[in-house]
Chain A
Amino acid sequence: MLNIDCPYCGPRAESEYRCGGESLIQRPALDCSDAEWADYLYTRNNPKGVHIERWHHVHGCGMWFNAARSTVTHQIFATWGMTDPVPELPE
């Protein structure tokens, strides 16, 4: 069971949250090519290592926030608000 530190509520059990996938994705301009649009919709980082992702405290305060988590150990290095700058992270 992951222990996830909501920036608003503090540490809570994994079962209170939903993961919203990769974060910091920018929507391309609407006149972009089909390939760029496909990339935006479907291509994901999927790293074996640190992943920056969105979490939703769905059974808590209802807020979205960012987390940096290892996809190998599941260790969470930082959580921060949606519009806050990305903190220093390990590689």
Chain B
Amino acid sequence: MTRYGALSLLRGGLSGQTNWQPAWREPAPKSGYDVVIIGGGGHGLATAHYLAANHGITNVAVIERGWIGGGNTGRNTTIIRSNYFFPQSAAFYDFSVRLYEGLTRALDYNIMFSQRGMWMLAHDRHGLEMLRRSANAMRLNGVDAELHDEAGVRAAIPQLNPNPRFPVLGGLCQPRGGSARHDAVAWGYARAASAAGVHILQNTEVTGFRIAGGRVTGVQTSRGEIGCGKVGVAVAGHSSVVGKLAGLSLPVQSYALQAFVSEPVKPCLDTVVLSPATGTYLSQSDKGELVMGAGLDLFLSYAQRGSLPWMEQTAAGVIELFPQFSRLRFLRQWAGICDVVHDSSPIIDESEVAGLHFNCGWGTGGFKAIPAGGWCLAHHLATGEAHALAKDFGFARFRTGALIDEAAGAGIAH
């Protein structure tokens, strides 16, 4: 793998840009691998990378039905943060943020991680109390958090409506929060994994499992059967569908989440703003588009499109807080299918079928978790033991009742 950098740029310039290699190979499938990863989103690709980089396991295939990063990884609003409530979540997500901080160097791929801070706003007394509770929990968990009054919020975000219908009473800032280029995360992991020997098989759908004596021994795909020692499933909204192929019923429900971008404009917003009460989730991409996240359509869906009521509500929320943006037009709208679990916490665990592991339950917030999700699934696949950061994020919690209820704890709205 040629390293990217000033030298290779210079060489490219001198040689008419003929020195560039494809970032990952397109090999023909082998008849078997030590580990098969299903799903070429961020979590699947990161798992493959860490299997190679941390555990020396390189006889690995990532099997992707469409193109890598074409699922939620390429459809999300790219916000990275670790403002969770429970100690297990804070430890897990903050580990992820720390991996993101070093990822551009680790992968030799610019993921454009910009720690521009992330603000959560409160518009009433109760919202303010919740923010104070969040800030205290975050600090106790060793995560950076700043609580600001209205003046502090307005000093940091002077663009805010001076006279909104829902007053801005305060805000919680995580300075290390921010955004990254989502495609680059998928491509960077793919490039590094491929260079280590991992096969990335795009346009290949898993259609069934070969299971013998309660243990997975292979997968059926649209390009024939592939044998394997272990399987890691990281298919987000399709977790139930793939689980069913192995006879499993999972505690997952699939909902569409949509997002929008405006036409691109010059830099005008240098941080991330979340206002749960007005339904606003706003940032500006490096291309200049305002990136707006909506809420879930709360009925099951496998259709990658969102509903009109949310489109309207999101626009209304943005205009309420930033009336000056009312003249911008929506440029694009899309949706992804999210794997929602009752306690809004992930599942990283081996299933009842021996050797068959799942990484799912990310719901609307698994982009920030890609490095840690891949790290922990790779650890479990390689060692047979759950990683210390993931041991409470297993299937058992639904039986024991030891849920990690971030839906209530961190106020994840869905």
Contact = CB atoms under 8 A, between A and B. Distances in A.
B104 to A, nearest CB: 37
Interface in B276-328: 298-303, 307-309
A42 B251 contact: yes
A81 B298 CA distance: 21
A20 B309 CA distance: 18
Q: Helix, strand, loop or mixed for chain B's interface?
A: mixed
Contacts of B238: 48
Interface in A1-44: 1-2, 14-15, 18-19, 21, 34-35, 38-39, 41-44
B309 A46 contact: no
B309 A14 contact: yes
A89 interface: no
Interface size class of B (residues with CB under 8 A): 20 to 34
B252 interface: yes
A46 B240 contact: yes
Contacts of A21: 253
B4 interface: no
Nearest to A18: B298
Given A34-B399, A71-B254, A42 B298 contact: no
Interface residues of A, number: 26
A37 to B, nearest CB: 8
Contacts, number: 57
A19 B256 CA distance: 14
B348 to A, nearest CB: 17
A42 B309 contact: no
A51 interface: yes
B132 interface: no
B154 interface: no
A8 to B, nearest CB: 20
A46 B249 CA distance: 9
B249 A43 contact: yes
Most B C-beta atoms less than 10 A away, residue of A43, A51, A73: A43
Given A14-B309, A18-B298, A42 B303 contact: no
A74 B337 CA distance: 14
A48 B302 contact: yes
A29 B309 CA distance: 40
Nearest to B238: A48
A47 to B, nearest CB: 8
Interface string B176-209: 0000000000000000000000000000000000
A19 B414 CA distance: 14
B251 A53 contact: no
Contact of B307 (A1, A44, A45, A73): A1
A44 B251 contact: yes
B398 interface: yes
Nearest to A2: B307
A42 to B, nearest CB: 4
Interface string B318-361: 00000000000000000000000010000000000000000000
Given A14-B307, A42-B398, A46-B240, A19 B254 contact: no
Given A43-B249, A71-B254, 11 more contacts: A15-B309, A38-B251, A39-B249, A42-B251, A42-B342, A44-B253, A46-B250, A53-B300, A71-B301, A72-B303, A73-B303
24 contacts: A1-B308, A14-B309, A21-B253, A34-B399, A38-B251, A38-B399, A41-B342, A42-B342, A43-B249, A43-B250, A43-B251, A44-B240, A44-B252, A46-B240, A46-B250, A46-B252, A46-B254, A48-B240, A48-B254, A53-B299, A71-B301, A71-B303, A73-B303, A74-B301
